């Protein structure tokens, strides 16, 4: 609720009466006359005058304060989040801001970052004693700056894609107007600077390298400058995503935990090789599939994705078949394991995921954007699930 008060109607009147000098006339200064509904309050103050008489004393100074009507007036904040009768509680405003930030951060990518780094960090663990406070502190030092860098990358993409997102993703805060461009720039800048500062402060070369590579590739992917804006070219766009998700996350954070947290000699394990190879396929699928629901906006703004060039249906089944082949390869790798529990879990787990993928793909309506988007989110769930199987590849 916002209340405003305007002061007006200052007037000065004096009556002349020759040869008369009158003493001050005392009038109460707090008199108010208010009418219900839309009210007008007047306060009158009488000052002494050498030229006035009791009989002709008039108001010499009036002040009028007009109030708003009893109902509230809607006020729109700069970031498009409104306050008024429906949202006058501070708690509601904070919740709305947090929801907008949640959408801005692209939560499915943040969850992927958290799960991927956490489970890759478990690969160097050999005994239960390795799960010490030192391990968890090192994991925390990897997670926090990585999530901030993730927010920088997805936020930067939204800053340069506002017009495209108004067609493809109108619910995002910048496209919908919930966040102003200034707010978006502030979040992106703060995330980048804080992430890099932490990477330098924690003194882990592989961690800092991962952050710098993610920053560079995320920038060239989105920024509209000569030789940049790689997202316009399907191959370059897929390369950016694959390098970060499949190579940087696996190798950099494995070495960070093994050498600079646990203090062990760097040894490449079977599970690390499998994770890197499998995630190369999976990241390529994500890079291809993410453009399938966005064909309309990409075509209008000259983004030459594979979905635009080859068609949605063709790219859809290319992605599904790539994942099925990857799951088949994972079953073969699991069958070659000499450790029986690892063999059973790897074979059964990947076979189950492959069947669920095939069954779900047959139900997708390729003429419905909502159906395709829902399946894309399902692929991210498969991405999360794979990281829970990787540690069992021994």
pLDDT, tens digit (0-9, with 9 covering 90-100), for 96-142: 999 999 999 999 999 999 999 999 999 999 899 999 999 999 999 99
Identify the residue with better confidence: 116 or 70.
116
Whether residue 28 has pLDDT greater than 80: no
Q: Which two tokens stand for residue 289?
A: 């599939």
- What phi and psi values does residue 134 have, to the nearest 5 degrees? -60, -40
pLDDT at 325: 96
Task: Report residue 256: phi and psi, to 5°.
Answer: -55, -45
How far apart CA 134 and CA 258 sit, in angstroms, is 12
Global confidence as pTM: 0.75
Task: Measure the CA–CA gap between 192 and 197, rounded to whole angstroms.
Answer: 9
Give the pLDDT band of residue 338 (cuts 50, 70, 90): confident
Say if residues 353 and 327 touch (Cβ distance below 8 Å): yes
According to the model, what pLDDT value does residue 84 have? 52
Across the chain, what does the average pLDDT equal? 82
Least confident piece of the model among 56-70, 342-356, 378-392: 56-70
Alpha helices (H) in 248-365, listed in sequence order: 249-260, 270-289, 295-300, 306-310, 312-335, 340-361
Q: What percent of the chain has pLDDT over 70?
A: 78
Cα gap 390→275, rounded to integer Å: 6
Nearest of 301, 309, 290, 308 to residue 167 by alpha carbon? 301
Task: With cut-offs at 50, 70 and 90, classify the pLDDT of residue 394.
Answer: confident
């Amino acid at each position: 609720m916002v209340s405003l008060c305007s002061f007006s109607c200052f007037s000065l009147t004096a009556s002349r009466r020759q040869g008369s000098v009158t003493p001050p006339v005392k009038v109460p200064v707090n008199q108010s006359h208010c009418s219900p509904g839309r009210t007008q309050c007047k306060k009158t103050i009488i000052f002494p005058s050498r030229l006035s008489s009791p009989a002709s004393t008039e108001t010499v100074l009036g002040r009028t304060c007009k109030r708003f009507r009893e109902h509230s007036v809607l006020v729109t904040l700069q970031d498009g989040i409104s306050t008024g009768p429906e949202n006058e509680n501070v708690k509601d405003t904070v919740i709305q801001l947090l929801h907008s930030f949640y959408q801005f951060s692209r939560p499915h990518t943040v969850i992927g970052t958290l799960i991927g780094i956490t489970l890759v960090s478990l690969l160097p663990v050999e005994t239960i004693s390795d799960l010490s406070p030192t391990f968890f502190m090192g994991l925390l030092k990897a997670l926090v700056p990585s999530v901030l860098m993730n927010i920088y990358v997805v936020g930067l993409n939204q800053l340069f894609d506002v017009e495209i997102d108004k067609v493809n993703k109108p619910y995002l805060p910048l496209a919908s107007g919930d966040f102003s461009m200034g707010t978006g720039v502030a979040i992106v800048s703060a995330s980048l600077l804080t992430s890099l500062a932490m990477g330098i402060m924690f003194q882990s070369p592989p961690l800092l390298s991962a952050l710098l590579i993610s920053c560079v590739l995320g920038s060239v992917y989105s920024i509209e400058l000569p030789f940049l804006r790689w997202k316009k070219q399907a191959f370059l766009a897929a390369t950016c995503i694959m390098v970060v998700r499949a190579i940087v996350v696996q190798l950099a954070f494995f070495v960070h935990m093994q050498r600079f947290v646990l203090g062990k000699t760097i040894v490449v394990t079977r599970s690390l090789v499998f994770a890197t190879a499998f995630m190369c396929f999976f990241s390529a699928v994500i890079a291809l599939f993410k453009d399938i629901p966005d064909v309309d906006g990409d075509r209008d703004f000259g983004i030459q994705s594979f979905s635009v060039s080859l068609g949605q249906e063709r790219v859809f089944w290319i992605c599904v078949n790539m994942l099925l082949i990857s799951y088949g390869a994972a079953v073969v790798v699991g069958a070659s394991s000499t450790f029986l529990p690892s063999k059973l879990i790897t074979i059964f787990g990947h076979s189950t995921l492959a069947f669920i993928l095939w069954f779900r793909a047959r139900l997708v309506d390729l003429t419905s954007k909502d159906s395709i988007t829902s399946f894309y989110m399902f692929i991210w769930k498969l991405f999360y699930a794979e990281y829970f199987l990787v540690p069992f590849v021994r």
